[in-house]
Amino acid sequence: MDYDPMRPIWLQVVNRIKGSVVTGAIGPGEKLPGGRDLAVQFSINPNTAARVYQELEREGLCETRRGMGTYVTENRETISALRTQMAAEATDRFLRDLRAMGLNRDDAIRLLNERKDTDHA
Amino acid sequence: MLESRELTKKFGAKTAVDNVSLAMEPGHIYAMLGPNGSGKTTWMKMAAGLVKPTSGEVFFNGNPVGIESRKDVAYMSTEPYFYDWMTIESAGKYYNDFFEDFSMETYLRMLSDMDLNEKDKIRTLSSGMVAKMKIALTLARDAKVYMLDEPFNGIDLLARDEIRAAILKAATPEKLLLLSSHLVEEMEAIADRAVFIRKGVLIEVRDLEEMREVDGVSMADRYRSIFGHGEVQA
């Protein structure tokens, strides 16, 4: 099972697709699989797959053209805004983890600056 | 679409299914859950018209199940019922003769999707291969209801993935799928509703995404809280 079974699966798939759009793995204007193919591809219930597209459409990240299928938005501002939002969320997670270890924002910045000199960045 | 009303089955002193009223709709994949001996198979066999209820009835589209409904209700049992001489292909021909809605073309496509060779003799197959063949035989019918009893039992991870894909491909909005298994995790993402049965008694039917969203609880969590301590927790 590739999902956290305690959280809604539609939300986890939405986040994965958003991730692919932000990294460019799925390009602007690219056609997405039909709902039932999405279900097979992600190994999820077809109703969950339908919910995934409803949510992506609601957020303006994809659009369904009648009889044509579902496409990623070509609006680069929308994609850019999504990237900003996801980066903010990643930063939040990072800071939250450090706070749990008793480290503050300055510690975070110091750790990041030290990281610059290593091969991992 | 498929409904049991006050359905009861007794085997001697033992009550296998106890007054179960349950309605299921097309466009959903139901997971029927309960430990061994909780009445899942008996319920399915009655819904398939293979076992006669002690009391109560099962209805398919408003009509009592029987010879007629067997055309629309496909049931995969846990028992193997193939002859030693049969190949995967001849098992398909056997089904083709038996069921009007069986499609040899669909069967062969599913075999190839699941990496099975139709010329192989059934007695030479691993248990995972037999499980995949049984799935293909059942899903190659153009039925309205598919009931699969223990589709994931005794098979390896890769075969389970293939079976999941085959099930999802068959799940169109006008069809009803019912899977029974005690391998709860296998069904967590592909089912959207869960039917919990304990000692023959229906406990509840839940929408899984709603349960995750509202209660932050997985199907496996719910299973543990219902069956784990011998007490039902609300």
Domain ranges of chain B: 2-227
What is the structure's pLDDT at B233? Answer: 46
Co-location of A31 and A65 in the same domain? yes
Query: Is position A88 within any domain?
Result: yes
Task: Answer whether B38's CB lies under 8 Å from B184's CB.
Answer: no
Q: Which residue of A has its CA nearest to B183?
A: A1
Co-location of A27 and A45 in the same domain? yes
- pLDDT by residue for chain B (234 residues), tens only, comes to 999 999 999 999 999 999 999 999 999 999 999 988 899 999 999 999 999 999 999 999 999 998 888 889 999 998 877 887 899 999 999 999 999 999 999 999 999 988 999 999 998 988 888 889 999 999 999 999 999 999 998 788 888 888 999 999 999 999 999 999 888 988 999 999 999 999 999 999 999 999 999 999 999 999 999 988 655 444
Give the gap in angstroms from C-alpha B104 to the nearest C-alpha of chain A: 22
Could B212 and A48 be called an inter-chain contact, meaning their C-beta atoms sit closer than 8 Å? no
SS3 A19: helix
Q: Which residue of A has its CA nearest to B164?
A: A43
In CATH, the architecture of B2-227 is 3-Layer(aba) Sandwich (3.40)
Could A47 and B192 be called an inter-chain contact, meaning their C-beta atoms sit closer than 8 Å? yes
Percent of chain A topping pLDDT 90: 80
Give the β-pairing of A31-32 and B2-11: unpaired
Q: Which residue of A has its CA nearest to B218?
A: A6
What is the structure's pLDDT at A120? Answer: 57
Could B189 and A46 be called an inter-chain contact, meaning their C-beta atoms sit closer than 8 Å? no
Q: Which residue of B has its CA nearest to A51?
A: B209
- What ipTM, to 2 d.p.? 0.88
Query: Is position A35 within any domain?
Result: yes
What is the structure's pLDDT at B229? Answer: 66
User: Which residues of B lie closer than 8 Å to A, measured between beta carbons?
Assistant: 27-29, 161, 164-165, 168-169, 171-173, 185-186, 188-192, 208-209, 212-213, 216-221
Give the gap in angstroms from C-alpha B128 to the nearest C-alpha of chain A: 19
Co-location of A23 and A64 in the same domain? yes
What is the structure's pLDDT at B33? Answer: 94
Structural domain of A60: 9-74
Give the gap in angstroms from C-alpha B182 to the nearest C-alpha of chain A: 15
**For residue A67, what pLDDT band results from cuts at 50, 70 and 90?**
confident
Burial state string for B48-82 with b = 16 or more CB within 10 A and e = fewer than 16: bbebebeebebbbeeeebeeebbebbbbbbeeeeb
Co-location of A86 and A47 in the same domain? no
Co-location of A103 and A68 in the same domain? no
**For residue A118, what pLDDT band results from cuts at 50, 70 and 90?**
low
Could B192 and A45 be called an inter-chain contact, meaning their C-beta atoms sit closer than 8 Å? yes
Could A45 and B171 be called an inter-chain contact, meaning their C-beta atoms sit closer than 8 Å? yes
Co-location of A50 and A88 in the same domain? no
The residue that leads in pLDDT, B232 or A74, is: A74
Co-location of A84 and A99 in the same domain? yes
Degrees, nearest 5: CA angle B145-B80-B41: 50
d(CA B107, CA B178): 20
Residue B123 DSSP label: G
What is the structure's pLDDT at A117? Answer: 61
What is the structure's pLDDT at B197? Answer: 95
Give the gap in angstroms from C-alpha B210 to the nearest C-alpha of chain A: 8
Co-location of A87 and A64 in the same domain? no
Count of domains in chain A? 2
Co-location of A48 and A84 in the same domain? no
Co-location of A63 and A14 in the same domain? yes
Co-location of A15 and A31 in the same domain? yes
